Amino acid sequence: MTTVDTGMAQALNAALRDALGADERVVVFGEDVGRLGGVFRVTEGLRAAFGDGRCFDTPVSEAGIAGLAVGMAMAGWRPVVEMQFDAFAYPAFEQITSHMAKMRNRTRGALALPLVVRIPYGGGIGGVEHHSDSSEAYYAHTAGLKVVTPATAADAYSLLREAIDDPDPVIFLEPKRRYWTKEPLQLPVRTGSFGTAAVRRAGADVTLVAYGPSVAVALETADLAAAEGLDVEVLDLRTLVPLDDDALTASVRRTGRCLVVHEAQGFAGVGAEIAARVQERCFDALRAPVLRVTGFDIPYPPPLLEDTHLPGVRRVLDGLYRLLPASARRAPRTLPAACAPAPGRTFLLPDLGEGLAEAEVLEWKVAVGDPVEHDQVVAEVETAKSAVTLPSPFAGTVTALHCEAGQVVEVGAPLLTVEESAEASGSGAVLTGYGTSGRSGRQPSALPATTTGAADAVHESNDPARVTASATRIPLGPSADKFVRGHRDTPAVTIWADADAGSLLAARTTLGTGLMPLLARACLDALAAFPELNSRVDADRRELVRLPQVHLGFAAQTDHGLVVPVVRDADRLPLDGLAAELRRLTDLARRGALPAEHLTGGTFTLNNYGGFDVDGATPILNHPQAAMIGVGRITDRPWVTDGRVEVRKVVNVSLTFDHRVCDGGTAAAFLRHVVDGLGCAV
């Protein structure tokens, strides 16, 4: 077996694939798990591999999904169902609590229900209400259910395989923010069974109890606490029901102190049950009260407040300090500099758009010890497309620079840490993926897996088109994944029409402006008439979101490659203002100096590829936009007018659109509006 870096989502997919292959009674179903492969792609490829009868989509009815699972389990199948998000499962509570949980008891043990309900849960994606919740206490309180929540990719695979094989209903809670965190792993793998906790880090002073997404936070905190003389043991529960009371009791009796960490709200949460059990079983060994660090007793907040709500390293450290004051700590041990605590807020490399996953730090504008203000430029970075200046979302004093100039860092990686001033508050220049919350799409570093091993040599491919020794490998560009995702997720359709460009060229001369402003104005006028094309699809809520403003993206060729600058609020600009902004952004793009706010957030894109001497093309949508216009070169062509054939200046205009936002008639009317606008541009 080969050891490869594997994310939790990949491990879950492998577990489902192996279970489907091993047992014909296993079926997988739920909303969008078939064709789409699940919102988080956990079921990707299963329908193609095993057919519609083994992996299929259901109507949007969680109660129906759960009820079907109960019936199929009673009939001898082993269903694995997915509730798309945490709170989507709540409409199914009647089936889960009254039938799944009680069937064995109701039939005096004569009838088992071997089924699994998979639920992505917890925070880390910036979702609110239905899309982020920590519901483990509801299920753990319900007798008859087993409740599982893995923290590592290895456990995700092993525990899901065990859940599918189990004769009883299992609620399988998958921490969303751990889906993409990778760890070296050999599959298949089996770790500890249900009811077996794992000591992720041995220690002597305090037992830090965690599960699911909080285990990574606990491990990071334990490493930092060592610098303060705290020897922290991290206990990963792995399953909440059954709970490993023996491991919990043994650990707390050994350390004499216990701190419980979880994302869910504190009141009546799992942490309260653990604290009660520790008090009942270990009271004589405790040297301090059992403490909890949990989410606040509020619904999951919006993205900018999510990190404040979720228990982070600083809050957990504060809890440890309460349990073990400085006077009681052992001498600090020396840690590598990378593990030394850096107080303050950490600024993470933001998502700079265009599907770019990394950037090179060209120059630091600040040094350790420098004061910084909100929105002060702290660094200049270069992506594959342009150079971007980064403003600080924090005010205070720089305490650490986490990389050197010239170093390439991934999106979500730490750039610098700022010790905030007391009066510091949120910045007005929050970019995608970072801000005063410090939240990022990049996940914490991988947890130690229960199995380890050196990577095997790469095996020769069985593909007849495999690369030979003399071939040259060139890495795909950073936009490749975005193109694939757009094609996979969007039912895109392209239509086109020819336009008489004579009026367009005359308008260019009369108005003294370039072609791009006139093309842009024609698109903006059409968007005002057909707002469906200036929208986005919210796939999670199955809604079309019409956007109130047009942020117009336009393609510009530079020495860095093709860049798509964004004209903010283009629909509010007069023609001369639009022309000036197009010139300004084109110049910045060619100099590699586009600011970040003009690289992201486009709602519609205009691509003029006539300069490449191309007649036409089928544009690829700039995901998640709903439409893109492409304009080819202007050429002399035969044109029929009033029954006469004349030579006219003709241009081809293509429209690619997301078929979910409108039908072909609306798209054709939009394109006709653009073409007619070009024909009377003067």
> Is the pLDDT reported for residue 354 higher than 60?
no
More confident call, 327 vs 29: 29
Same domain, 377 and 487: no
Considering only 131-135, 296-300, 383-387, 537-541, which range has the smallest mean pLDDT?
A: 383-387
What is the percentage of the chain residues whose pLDDT exceeds 90? 58
Same domain, 176 and 246: no
- Average pLDDT estimate for 319-338: 64
Considering only 45-54, 361-370, 466-475, 582-591, which range has the smallest mean pLDDT?
A: 466-475
Last residue of a domain, one of 419, 449, 471: 419
- Average pLDDT estimate for 608-634: 87
> What is the pLDDT at residue 426?
39
Same domain, 231 and 379: no
Q: Angle, to 10 degrees, between the axis of helix 664-679 and the axis of helix 502-511?
A: 50
> What is the pLDDT at residue 73?
97
The answer as to whether 334 is a domain residue is no
> Is the pLDDT reported for residue 464 higher than 50?
no
Same domain, 484 and 413: no
Q: How far apart are CA 507 and CA 446, in angstroms?
A: 59
Same domain, 530 and 618: yes
- Average pLDDT estimate for 352-369: 77
Same domain, 215 and 363: no
The answer as to whether 190 is a domain residue is no
> What is the pLDDT at residue 324?
85
Note down the domain range covering 247: 198-328
The answer as to whether 435 is a domain residue is no
Confidence of residue 631 (pLDDT cuts 50, 70, 90): very high
Q: How many angstroms separate the Cα of 487 from the Cα of each of 482, 492, 622, 627?
A: 9, 7, 10, 13
- Average pLDDT estimate for 72-86: 96
> What is the pLDDT at residue 640?
87
Q: How far apart are CA 13 and CA 682, in angstroms?
A: 58
Same domain, 111 and 225: no
> What is the pLDDT at residue 285?
95
- Average pLDDT estimate for 500-509: 88
Confidence of residue 430 (pLDDT cuts 50, 70, 90): very low
> What is the pLDDT at residue 409?
84
Q: How many angstroms separate the Cα of 287 from the Cα of each of 202, 227, 247, 324, 388?
A: 19, 22, 19, 9, 53
Q: How far apart are CA 254 and CA 423, in angstroms?
A: 43
Same domain, 154 and 261: no
Confidence of residue 346 (pLDDT cuts 50, 70, 90): confident
125-145 residue pLDDT tens:
777 778 899 999 999 999 999
The answer as to whether 441 is a domain residue is no
Number of domains present in the structure of the chain: 4
Expressed in angstroms, the distance from the first to the final Cα of the chain is 69
131 catalytic per annotation: yes
Catalytic site residue from 99, 130, 131, 551 = 131
Q: Where residue 264 sits, what CATH number does that domain have?
A: 3.40.50.920
Same domain, 369 and 517: no
> What is the pLDDT at residue 343?
54
The answer as to whether 125 is a domain residue is yes
Confidence of residue 58 (pLDDT cuts 50, 70, 90): very high
Same domain, 59 and 181: yes
> What is the pLDDT at residue 490?
85
Last residue of a domain, one of 419, 439, 466: 419
The backbone torsions φ and ψ at residue 309, rounded to the nearest 5 degrees and listed phi first, read -75, -40
Average pLDDT value over all residues in the chain: 85
Residue 308 DSSP SS3: helix
Same domain, 246 and 295: yes
The backbone torsions φ and ψ at residue 136, rounded to the nearest 5 degrees and listed phi first, read -60, -35
Q: Where residue 63 sits, what CATH number does that domain have?
A: 3.40.50.970
**Helical spans, DSSP H, in 441-494:** 480-489
- Average pLDDT estimate for 4-29: 96
- Global pTM reads 0.56
663 phi-psi bin (left φ>0, alpha ψ -120 to 50, beta other): beta
Confidence of residue 610 (pLDDT cuts 50, 70, 90): confident
More confident call, 301 vs 455: 301
Last residue of a domain, one of 143, 162, 185: 185
Same domain, 203 and 177: no
Q: Where residue 395 sits, what CATH number does that domain have?
A: 2.40.50.100
Q: Where residue 566 sits, what CATH number does that domain have?
A: 3.30.559.10
More confident call, 46 vs 229: 46
> What is the pLDDT at residue 459?
36
> Is the pLDDT reported for residue 595 higher than 90?
no
> What is the pLDDT at residue 591?
81
366-415 residue pLDDT tens:
999 999 987 788 998 877 556 677 888 788 899 999 999 888 887 778 88
**Helical spans, DSSP H, in 427-574:** 480-489, 502-511, 515-529
> Is the pLDDT reported for residue 455 higher than 50?
no
- CA-nearest of 575, 415, 430 to 508 is 575
